[in-house]
Amino acid sequence: MLETDRDSKGSPGSLSPHIGNLSFLRVLDLKNNSFRNEIPQEIGYLFRLRILWLSNNTFGGQIPDNISHCVNLESLSLGSNELVGKVPGKLGSLSKLQILVVHLNSLSGEIPSSLGNLSSLQVLSAARNQFVGQIPETLGEIKRMRIIAFGINKLSGSFPSDLGFTLPNLELLNVADNQFAGPIPASISNTSNLMTLAIGGNGFSGKVPSLENLHKLREVSISQHPLGNGEKDDLEFVNSLVNASRLELLQISDTNCGGMLPEAVGNLSTRLRKLSVGNNQLFGNIPSGLRNLVNLELLDLGDNQFTGRIPESIGYLQKLQGSGLNGNKFLGEIPSSIGNLASLTILDFSANLLEGSIPSSLGKCQNLISLNLSNNNLSGTIPTEVIGLSSLSIYLDLSQNQLNGPLPSNFGILKNLGFIDISENKLSGEIPSSIGSCILLVQLIMNGNFFQGNIPSSFSSLRGIEKLDLSRNNLSGRIPKYFENFLFLQKLNLSFNHFEGEVPIKGVFSNSSAISLDGNDNLCGGISDLHLSTCSIKESKQSRARSLKLIIPVITIILLVTGMSCLIITSRRSKSKREPATPPSASLASVLRVSYENMFKATDGFSLENLIAAGSFGSVYKGVLNHDDHETLVAVKVLNLQHRGASKSFMAECQALRSVRHRNLVKLLLDEMTIYFNMFCAIMLYRILGNLYGCFIITFKIHGFCIINPQIF
Q: Rounded CA gap, 86 and 256, in Å?
A: 37
- pLDDT number for residue 584: 34
Largest CA distance in the chain: 128
Hey, which residues does 515 pair with through a beta bridge? 492
Q: Rounded CA gap, 507 and 108, in Å?
A: 49
How far from chain centre, in Å, is Cα 380? 30
Reported confidence tier of residue 328, pLDDT bands at 50, 70, 90: very high
Within a 13 Å sphere around the CA of 521, how many CA atoms are in the beta-carbon half? 1
* Cβ atoms within 10 Å of 581's Cβ, excluding its own: 8
Sign of CA dihedral 109, 110, 114, 118: positive
How far from chain centre, in Å, is Cα 176? 31
pLDDT(287) > 60: yes
Closest CA to 100 of 124, 82, 117, 119: 124
Would you say 102 and 126 are in contact if contact means Cβ atoms under 8 Å apart? yes
Q: Rounded CA gap, 451 and 404, in Å?
A: 11
* Cβ atoms within 10 Å of 420's Cβ, excluding its own: 22
Tell me the mean pLDDT in the region 521-540: 84
Q: What is the CA radius of gyration of the chain?
A: 41
Hey, which residues does 329 pair with through a beta bridge? none
- Each residue of 607-656: pLDDT tens digit? 666 766 566 556 666 777 665 555 666 666 665 544 545 544 555 555 54
- Each residue of 199-234: pLDDT tens digit? 999 999 999 999 999 999 999 999 988 998 888 999
Torsion region of 11: left, alpha or beta (phi above 0 gives left; psi -120 to 50 gives alpha): beta
For 402-466, give the DSSP string.
EEEEEPPGGGGG-TT--EEE--SSEEEEEPPGGGGG-TT-SEEE--SSEEEEPPPGGGGG-TT-S
- Each residue of 373-427: pLDDT tens digit? 999 999 999 999 999 999 999 999 999 999 999 999 999 999 999 999 999 999 9
* Cβ atoms within 10 Å of 117's Cβ, excluding its own: 18
What pTM, to 2 d.p., does this model score? 0.73
Closest CA to 247 of 271, 266, 265, 263: 271
Single-letter code of the amino acid located at 233? D
Q: Domain-by-domain residue ranges, the chain?
A: 1-113, 539-708
Would you say 343 and 319 are in contact if contact means Cβ atoms under 8 Å apart? yes
CATH of domain 539-708: 3.30.200.20
Mean pLDDT of the chain: 83
How far from chain centre, in Å, is Cα 630? 67
- Each residue of 59-99: pLDDT tens digit? 999 999 999 999 999 999 999 999 999 999 999 999 999 99
Would you say 597 and 706 are in contact if contact means Cβ atoms under 8 Å apart? no
Q: Rounded CA gap, 360 and 339, in Å?
A: 8
Burial class (CB in 10 A: 0-12, 13-18, 19+), 596: middle
- Each residue of 443-487: pLDDT tens digit? 999 999 999 999 999 999 999 999 999 999 999 999 999 999 999
φ, ψ (nearest 5 deg) of residue 633: -75, 125
pLDDT(35) > 80: yes
**What is the third-level CATH fold of 1-113?**
3.80.10
Lowest mean pLDDT among 122-131, 405-414, 645-654, 702-711: 702-711
Would you say 637 and 599 are in contact if contact means Cβ atoms under 8 Å apart? no
Would you say 186 and 216 are in contact if contact means Cβ atoms under 8 Å apart? no
Single-letter code of the amino acid located at 658? R
DSSP letter at 16 equals P
For 451-506, give the DSSP string.
EEEPPPGGGGG-TT-SEEE--SSEEEEEPPGGGGG-TT--EEE--SSEEEEEEP-S
Q: Rounded CA gap, 640 and 642, in Å?
A: 5
φ, ψ (nearest 5 deg) of residue 453: 85, -170
Q: What percent of the chain has pLDDT over 70?
A: 74
Total number of residues shown for the chain? 713
N- to C-terminal Cα separation, the chain: 91
Give the 3-state secondary structure of residue 375. coil
Q: What share of the chain is helix, strand, coil (3-state, %, to 5)?
A: 25, 25, 45
